[in-house]
Amino acid sequence: MTPVRRTRERGVETLTLDSPHNRNALSATLVGDVAAALTATAADPGVRAVVLTHTGTTFSAGADLRDPPDPDALVGLFRQIAELPKPVVARVAGHVRAGGLGLLAACDISAASHDSTFAFTEVRIGVAPAVISLTLLPRTDPRALARYYLTGERFDAAEAARTGLVTAAGDDVDAVLAPALDGLRRASPQGLAETKRLLTARVLEAFDRDAAGLTALSARLFASPQAREGMTAFLERRDPEWVV
pLDDT in tens, 79-121: 999 999 999 999 999 999 999 999 999 999 999 999 999 999 9
- Under the banding of pLDDT at 50, 70 and 90, the label for residue 2 is confident
Q: Per the domain annotation, does 177 fall within a domain?
A: no
So what's the pLDDT on residue 200?
98
So what's the pLDDT on residue 207?
98
- Under the banding of pLDDT at 50, 70 and 90, the label for residue 66 is confident
Number of domains the chain contains: 1
CA-based nearest residue to 60, from 82, 86, 78, 44: 78
So what's the pLDDT on residue 193?
98
For 46-55, write each residue's pLDDT tens digit.
999 999 999 9
Average pLDDT over residues 5-19: 97
Give the CATH number for residue 31: 3.90.226.10
Q: Per the domain annotation, does 159 fall within a domain?
A: yes
So what's the pLDDT on residue 1?
75
Q: Per the domain annotation, does 198 fall within a domain?
A: yes
pLDDT more than 70, % of the chain: 100
So what's the pLDDT on residue 154?
98
Q: Per the domain annotation, does 178 fall within a domain?
A: no
How far apart are the C-alpha atoms of 240 and 234, rounded to whole Å? Answer: 8
For 161-216, write each residue's pLDDT tens digit.
999 999 999 999 999 999 999 999 999 999 999 999 999 999 999 999 999 999 99
Q: Looking at the predicted structure, is the pLDDT value of residue 159 above 80?
A: yes
Phi, psi of 16 (to 5 degrees): -105, 120
Q: Per the domain annotation, does 215 fall within a domain?
A: yes
Q: Which residues of 197-207 are buried (b: 16+ CB within 10 A; e: fewer)?
A: eeebeebeebb
DSSP 161-174: HHTTSSSEEES-HH
Average pLDDT over residues 9-17: 98
* pTM, full prediction: 0.96
Query: The domain containing residue 141 runs over which residues?
Result: 1-171+192-244
Instruction: Please report, for residues 1, 65, 91, 110, the alpha-carbon distance to residue 174 in angstroms, rounded to integers and kept in the order given.
Output: 27, 31, 8, 11
Q: Per the domain annotation, does 183 fall within a domain?
A: no
Q: Per the domain annotation, does 231 fall within a domain?
A: yes
Q: Per the domain annotation, does 6 fall within a domain?
A: yes
- Under the banding of pLDDT at 50, 70 and 90, the label for residue 78 is very high
So what's the pLDDT on residue 220?
96
How far apart are the C-alpha atoms of 73 and 102, rounded to whole Å? Answer: 13
Q: Looking at the predicted structure, is the pLDDT value of residue 68 above 90?
A: no
What average pLDDT does the structure give for the chain? Answer: 97
Active site residues: 122
